[in-house]
């Protein structure tokens, strides 16, 4: 069923055009990878600040407020470009277990980013960042690394991408 739905997506005319136009697909790929670097990099910077390992001289709330707009812009661009790349081979990706794991790990990582973002104003008002906040930041770091590894493993294990 997933394969059939994916095949339907692949055959939408504008998706087929992207898949058959090398320069267009390549341009979308460059946008996707660049925005992923920005997304993961900025998220990791905030996590490292919460852990006290980066930008220690800057208040956590000020640092995060400078970083989060970049992170969320990159997130949405990565979603759009990732969907466009995915759509050209959706019939192959949807039933693939490594792809499903990657999507689940990315979803979990985004949930942890939201947890960090929502709690930073409270954590910033405290004399020191609580241990629970540091656990959330560590989990966020681990999830982003897992998402990257799962993304790399799709090609290595499944031969997709």
**pLDDT for residue 38 is more than 90:** yes
End-to-end CA distance of the chain: 21
- Rounded to the nearest integer, the mean pLDDT of the chain is 88
CB 12 within 8 A of CB 3: no
Distance CA 77, CA 67 (A): 16
DSSP type of residue 156: I
pLDDT, one tens digit per residue, over 72-108 is 999 999 999 999 999 998 888 888 888 888 899 999 9
Cβ proximity of 94 and 3 under 8 Å: yes
Q: Could you report the per-residue pLDDT of 117-143, keeping only the tens digit for each?
A: 899 988 878 888 889 889 999 999 999
Q: Write the DSSP string, 51-104.
A: TTSS-TTS-HHHHHHHHHHHHHHHHHHHHHHHHHHHHTTHHHHTT-HHHHHHHH
Residue 33 Rama label (left phi>0; alpha psi -120 to 50; beta) = alpha
pLDDT over 90 at 5, yes or no: no
| DSSP label at residue 160 | -
pTM of the model: 0.83
For residue 11, what is the DSSP state?
A: T
Contact 99, 160 (CB under 8 A): yes
């Amino acid at each position: 069923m997933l394969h059939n739905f994916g095949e339907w997506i692949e055959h939408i005319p504008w998706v087929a055009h992207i898949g058959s136009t090398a320069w267009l697909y390549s341009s979308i790929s460059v946008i996707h990878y660049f925005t992923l670097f920005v997304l993961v990099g900025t998220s990791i910077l905030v996590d490292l600040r919460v852990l006290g390992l980066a930008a220690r001289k800057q208040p956590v709330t000020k640092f995060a407020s400078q970083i989060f707009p970049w992170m969320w812009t990159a997130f949405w661009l990565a979603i759009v470009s990732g969907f466009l790349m995915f759509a050209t081979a959706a019939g192959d990706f949807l039933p693939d277990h490594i792809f499903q794991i990657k999507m689940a790990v990315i979803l979990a990582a985004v949930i942890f980013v939201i947890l960090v973002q929502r709690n930073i104003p409270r954590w910033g008002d405290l004399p020191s960042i609580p241990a629970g906040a540091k656990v959330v930041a560590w989990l966020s770091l681990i999830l982003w690394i897992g998402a990257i590894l799962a993304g790399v493993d799709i090609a290595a294990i499944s031969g997709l991408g």
